[in-house]
Amino acid sequence: MTVQRILVVDDEESILSVLDYALTQEGYEVHTAADAASAESVFLQVSPALVILDVMLPDRSGLEVARDLRAHSSVPIIMLSARSDEVDRILGLEFGADDYVTKPFSPRELVTRVKTILRRSGAACDERTMIALGDLQIDVLSREVTVSGTAIHLTRTEYEILLYLARHPGTAFSREDILASLHEVAPNGDERAIDVHIHNIREKLEPDPKEPTHILTVRGFGYRLKES
């Protein structure tokens, strides 16, 4: 699995540390920078999948950095700011940001926003037509799922959940994340229904549903699909 890189740019060491930890826990490779000059250098070195960028940097405005990045890259950008002025939010979006978060913020909420944006952009643009994870295979074009060559018949919702997890093997997703990925299939769904769907998928997918080897429970959080 290719690990997605996140570049976090902020001159507050505490924020860099908190986001480094929170994003690393979710399986991302995190790179940090404390000013605009360093951010631009790191960006060229690592080609991140997403940039979290503070508006107020010591050497340049984060808005200017966002504008410069957007001039030659479509990388998703989340702006951070200690100010909640609507004008700042509008400017951030006009300068090319995909989202705008006001400090102080919940690290978990920000991680959820990162996942959502990556799902809409890079993750949603996954062009693979076949996903193979050990004995599990998913033919994206035909929507056929097999385990050790045996066809598995899933409902539409079950298939979409499995495909979502399979496109991010090893990454833990909360029930809220999984439900959000189903907005077109189940726009009025309930997070509690995710447990039922996972149970049903396991009944069809696992040799022993009580001891699953494919879809694993992340206690107190949600689920992840084993990488192989």
Dump pLDDT digits (tens) for 178-220: 888 776 555 556 788 899 999 999 999 999 999 999 999 999 8
Q: What is the CATH number of domain 5-120?
A: 3.40.50.2300
Considering only CA atoms, which of 161, 145, 142, 165 is closest in space to residue 153? 145
* Model confidence at 73: pLDDT above 50: yes
User: What is the largest distance, in Å, between two alpha-carbon atoms of the chain?
Assistant: 59
Which residues have CB under 8 Å from 30's CB, separation 6+? Answer: 5, 6, 8, 19, 20, 23, 24
Residue 26 CA, chain-centre distance (Å), reads 9
The whole-number pLDDT of residue 120 equals 72
Is residue 132 very low, low, confident or very high in pLDDT (cuts 50, 70, 90)? confident
For 1-54, the pLDDT digits (tens) are 457 899 999 999 999 999 999 999 988 999 999 999 999 999 988 888 899 999
The C-alpha atoms of residue 109 and residue 5 are separated, in whole angstroms, by 18
Residues of the chain with CATH 1.10.10.10: 130-225
pTM above 0.75, yes or no: no
| β strands within the chain, DSSP E | 5-9, 29-33, 50-54, 77-81, 99-102, 130-133, 136-139, 144-147, 150-152, 173-174, 215-218, 222-225
Please, what sign has the CA dihedral across residues 15, 18, 23, 24? positive
What's the token pair of residue 57? 């940097």
Residues of the chain with CATH 3.40.50.2300: 5-120
Best CATH choice for the domain 130-225 from the list 3.40.1190.20, 3.20.80.10, 1.10.357.10, 1.10.10.10: 1.10.10.10
Question: How many angstroms separate the first and last alpha carbons of the chain?
Answer: 10
Sort 130 into a burial class: Cβ within 10 Å, 0-12 / 13-18 / 19+. exposed
Is residue 145 within 8 A of residue 165, CB to CB? The reply is no
